[in-house]
Amino acid sequence: MKTESQAVVRPARNIRGSVRLPGDKSISHRYAMLAGIAEGPSRLENYSTGADCASTLGCMRALGVKWERKPDGDNVIEVQGSGMSLTAPSRALDCGNSGSTMRMLSGIASGQRFTSEMIGDASLSRRPMERVIKPLSAMGAQIASREGKPPLHITGGSLKAIDYKMPVASAQVKSCLLFAGLFADGATCVEEPLRTRDHGEVALRAFGVHLDRKNAGAGNEVRVRGGQRLRGLETRIPGDLSSAAFFLCAAGLFPGSELTVPSLLMNPTRARLLDILVQMGLRISVTQLEEINGELVGTLQVEGGKLKGARISGGASAALIDEIPVLAAIAPFTEQGIEVRDAKELRVKESDRIAAVATNLRKMGATAEEFEDGLKIPGGQSLHGAELDSFDDHRIAMAFAVAGLRASGETVISGAESAAISYPAFFQTLEEITER
C-alpha cells in the first residue's frame, strides 16, 4: 500500500553548498541487467537509490540472479552473474513504475527459453510497449499484451537478428534491442532517427561486448553480433545528471547561488542541460573530468546569474526529455520564457508531463500555453504558492518543489513521495542547500 505524503516548500533566498548525487538511474538499470547475464561477479558502487532501479534488481532476482547490497553505506551492489541463461521466474516480474525496467528487460527475457510475465503499477500499465513488442516479435519472441500495454507475457527462445529503424527516438528501445541482439543468430542493427543517450552501448562495451557504431543522418546506427559473452565489471556509477537538474535549476533561480556537484555524469548524450543552462546565463565550470568505463564524469561549479529564455525543439527535445519538466517549471522566472516543441513523448511518460506542468503552473498563477507536442511559458511572471499534485510522477514532484522556491507563500505538493522513484533523499537535500 502506498502512503501519500505532502511536501511543503517555502520561498528561498539562495542556493548554496555541495551535493553528491546517487548513481545515475539509466546507467544503474543497464549495469544491473548486464551484470546479471555476465559471467563472474560484478561490483557496482554508488548504485541508484531510486525505487525504479530496485525494481530492476527485484526482477533480476526473480530470474535467478544472485546479488546483495553491501552494508558499507556507499550503495554497493555485488552481483553474481548467471551467464546468458536465466531461470524461469516463479512469479511475475514486477517492474513497479519503471518503464526502463520493462522495456530493456524485455530484450533479455526474449532471449530466454521460458515465459516471463512483466507487470507494472497503474502508471506503467498505461504506457506504450508496442515499440518493443514489434521489433522483438520480428526477432522471433512471442509476446502477448493488453493492446500494446502491460502486462506483457514474453516467451523467448532462439532469436534471429534484424535490421531495425526505430520510428520513435528511444534509448530504452535501442538498449532493449541491443540486449536482445546478444541472444540472436547473426548481427542485429538498430538505427535511431535522433541520437539518444548511449549508456546501453557504453555499458555493453564495459562488459566486454564488441559493437560497431556509425552516424546515420541526425541519428546513429549500432550493430551487435549475437553469441558474445559478457564478463563481470567492477565500477563506480557517476552521479545522476537528471537528478542534479533540479538543483542546477534551483541555483538558476537566484543570482547569488553557488553550488558544487562532485562526480557528476557528463556523458555528452546527456549533458545538453548544461549547454542550455549556460546559454540561459548560469555560469558553470567543469573540473576533474575523467572517464570511468566509458562514461565521462566531472565536478561542476555553478554560479547563479539572471536567466534568459530558451526555445527547445528537434533533437534538443529528445536530448532533454527528462529535464524539460523542471526547465518548464522555472520558465516563468526567466527573462524571455521557455518554449518547448517536438516533445510529444512527454505525454506518455510516468504522467502526461505536458498537462501536469501546465496545470501546476496555472495553479501558481502563471500563464502557460499547451500544445500537443510542447508548451510555451512566458518569462517575467510572478507566481504564488498553491496546492499542487505530483500526478504520481517523481519528476513533476521535484520540478515544482524547485518552482516553489521562487513563489510567494507556501507551495504544498501532494504525492511528494513519488520523488523516491528516482531520488528518495531529494527533499532533504534540497532543504540542506536552500538559504532563507
Q: Which of 51, 95, 105, 171 binds ligand S3P (CB under 6 A)?
A: 171
Cell 575523467 locates to 290
Main-chain phi, psi angles of 160, to 5 degrees? -110, 145
The DSSP H or E segment spanning 245 is helix 241-252
Q: Which of 28, 172, 351, 429 binds ligand S3P (CB under 6 A)?
A: 172
- Please give the residues from 192 up to 221 whose contact with ligand S3P meets the rule CB under 6 A: 196-197
By beta-carbon proximity to ligand S3P, the closer residue of 50 and 404 is 50
Residue 56, interface with ligand S3P (CB under 6 A)? Answer: no
Closest among 292, 297, 259 to 277, alpha carbons compared: 259
Binding part of the chain for ligand S3P, among 169-177, 289-297, 331-339, 385-393 by CB under 6 A, reads 169-177
Does residue 362 contact residue 401 with C-beta atoms inside 8 Å?
no
Which DSSP category does 231 fall into?
B
Question: Does residue 240 carry a catalytic annotation?
Answer: no
Binding part of the chain for ligand S3P, among 165-173, 187-195, 268-276, 357-365 by CB under 6 A, reads 165-173
By beta-carbon proximity to ligand S3P, the closer residue of 120 and 332 is 120
Binding part of the chain for ligand S3P, among 4-12, 152-160, 171-179, 382-390 by CB under 6 A, reads 171-179
Does residue 385 contact residue 407 with C-beta atoms inside 8 Å?
yes
Residue 101, interface with ligand S3P (CB under 6 A)? Answer: no
Cα distance between residue 346 and residue 248, in whole Å: 21
Residue 106, interface with ligand S3P (CB under 6 A)? Answer: no
- Shortest Cβ distance from residue 150 to ligand S3P (Å)? 15
Catalytic residue among 24, 94, 121, 322: 322
- DSSP state string for 74-111: S--EEEE---S-----SS-EE-TT-HHHHHHHHHHHTT
Cα distance between residue 75 and residue 73, in whole Å: 6
Residue 32, interface with ligand S3P (CB under 6 A)? Answer: no
- Shortest Cβ distance from residue 183 to ligand S3P (Å)? 20
- Shortest Cβ distance from residue 99 to ligand S3P (Å)? 7
- Shortest Cβ distance from residue 254 to ligand S3P (Å)? 28
Does residue 36 sit in helix, strand or coil?
helix
Residue 48, interface with ligand S3P (CB under 6 A)? Answer: no
Cα distance between residue 317 and residue 325, in whole Å: 11
Which DSSP category does 372 fall into?
T
Does residue 18 contact residue 260 with C-beta atoms inside 8 Å?
yes
Residue 42, interface with ligand S3P (CB under 6 A)? Answer: no
- Shortest Cβ distance from residue 426 to ligand S3P (Å)? 16
Residue 14, interface with ligand S3P (CB under 6 A)? Answer: no
How far CA 91 is from CA of 36, 51, 66, 87, in Å, comes to 18, 19, 16, 11
Give me the active site residues, please: 322
